[in-house]
Amino acid sequence: MKNIVILISGGGSNMAAIVKTAQRDDWAGRLGAKVAAVISNKADAKGLVFAREHGIVTEVLDHKAFASREAFDAALAAVIDRFDQPGAPALVVLAGFMRILTPGFVNRYAGRLVNIHPSLLPAFAGLHTHQRAIDAGCKFAGVTVHQVTPELDHGPILAQAVVPVLPSDTADKLAARLLTQEHLIYPRAIADLLRK
């Protein structure tokens, strides 16, 4: 069984979408994979409640308790590695995990570390993507599932979804419309990755 470890910092709506899809589509039986753990860098992350209610192991690792980014990432890797199995290393999924990871951490999980970003990469890497798309006069915006590399928001693209930018859009309205797309494409992209 291949373990999926999901990292969150907040509400965990993408994590919840992945868990629900994994259960509905019987990933355990059909793909030999299950969501084994949800790890957060914030003890009050609401997504932890959902994970516990669905029988998933949860861990909290407060980044503020570490002297450096490298020390936090090393401790995080030690927790993730508890879910690695011989011949079936865990897939590590970033789902609203609001931490920039060190190159050492990213390289450790190369090829099995995925993220979803709220823009059509390579456009608008980084933060405030919805407002930046509106300010640039974009007619379309979207979301991208990608493999994580040391360069922020620039890994190989696994899936994208597109929505029109409406004249009445604010950053919040556009974000809400795109979130529904995130909940569809992220589980689909992970399932595709598991089939390889």
Average pLDDT score, the chain: 96
The 10s digit of each residue's pLDDT in 179-189 is: 999 999 999 99
The pLDDT-based confidence of 87 (bands split at 50, 70, 90) is confident
Q: What is the average pLDDT across 162-169?
A: 97
- Nearest Cα to 74, choosing from 116, 120, 105, 32? 105
The 10s digit of each residue's pLDDT in 29-74 is: 999 999 999 999 999 999 999 999 999 999 999 999 999 999 999 9
Share of the chain above pLDDT 90, in %: 95
The 10s digit of each residue's pLDDT in 108-164 is: 999 999 999 999 999 999 999 999 999 999 999 999 999 999 998 999 999 999 999
Q: What is the average pLDDT across 154-181?
A: 97
pLDDT of residue 117: 97
Q: Is 116 helix (H, G, I), strand (E, B) or coil?
A: strand
Q: What is the average pLDDT across 91-108?
A: 96
User: Which of the 8 DSSP states describes residue 123?
Assistant: T
Q: What is the average pLDDT across 98-109?
A: 95
Q: Is 120 left (phi over 0), alpha (psi -120 to 50) or beta?
A: beta
The pLDDT-based confidence of 173 (bands split at 50, 70, 90) is very high
- Nearest Cα to 47, choosing from 27, 39, 185, 118? 39
Q: Where are the alpha helices (DSSP H) in 60-170?
A: 69-81, 103-108, 129-135
- Does position 196 have pLDDT exceeding 90, yes or no? no
Give the strands of the sheet with 140-147, arranged side by side.
57-60, 33-40, 2-8, 91-94, 113-117, 140-147, 157-164
The pLDDT-based confidence of 88 (bands split at 50, 70, 90) is confident
Among all residues, which ones are annotated catalytic? 117
pTM recorded for the entire structure:
0.96
pLDDT of residue 85: 87
Q: How distant, in Å, are the alpha carbons of 24, 36, 79 from that of 57? A: 19, 6, 11
pLDDT of residue 65: 96
Please, what sign has the CA dihedral across residues 72, 74, 76, 79? negative
Q: Is 103 helix (H, G, I), strand (E, B) or coil?
A: helix
